[in-house]
Amino acid sequence: MLRKAICPGSFDPVTRGHIDIIERAARTFDQVIVAVLTNPRKSPLFTVPERLEMLREATAYMPNVSVMTANGLLVDFAREQGAQAIVKGLRPIQDFEYEWQMGMVNHDLDRDIETYFLMSRNEYSYLSSSIVRELASFGRDTDSLVPPGVAARLRAKFSES
């Protein structure tokens, strides 16, 4: 049986921490779909097409990874894609409660889809897209925090403002 997983997120922008979780999921599952979600509670810096493009560039070396957009409930998207798993990265403390709640809700909605939590590596434990956006907004270098090409897009985005 093909073991398929969904790695969801807003990826605004994708960070090296995101890529680490995607790589680890790609080593565990036969196929990984990176799902770009829209969060109505957030005001994104990058459009969905821009985020899809950045993710496709950043994951191009992983042959079992594809990138798609997802709307609606994540568990419904996972079911539509034939996935058996949702893979989420967890940073120390700040992510646990919310992600645990979402995992339990998803389990209640579809008991055939498991949620797997991967702990962030130490070097990424503080990293978030919002920190990257803030640093970039002040003209700070983000090359060590994001995949190649993303830092240039951040510089361009903030030079437009």
**Within the chain, which residues score under 50 in pLDDT?**
none
Whether 153 sits among the annotated catalytic residues: the reply is: no
Strands (E), 2-160: 4-9, 31-37, 65-70, 85-90, 114-119
DSSP state of 85: E
- Tell me whether residue 42 is one of the annotated catalytic residues: yes
> Which residue in the list 16, 24, 88, 129 is annotated as catalytic?
129
- Output the six-digit token pair for 115: 């949620």
Among 3, 42, 56, 140, which one carries the catalytic annotation? 42
Residue-averaged pLDDT of the chain: 93
Q: Considering 79, 91, 107, 121, which one is annotated as catalytic?
A: 91
45 Cβ neighbours under 8 A, 6+ residues apart = 12, 13, 133, 157
The pLDDT value given to residue 146: 97
Domain with residues 4-160, CATH architecture: 3-Layer(aba) Sandwich (3.40)
18 labelled catalytic: yes
**CA 142, CA 133: separation in Å to the nearest integer?**
9
Q: What are phi and psi of 8, to 5 degrees?
A: -95, 160
Position 15, amino acid: T
Angle at 24 between CA 132 and CA 78, to 5 degrees: 90
129 has catalytic annotation: yes
Query: What would the pLDDT profile of 31-63 be if each residue is shown by its tens digit?
Result: 999 999 987 777 899 999 999 999 999 999 999
The domain segmentation of the chain, as residue ranges, is: 4-160
pLDDT of 1 reads: 63
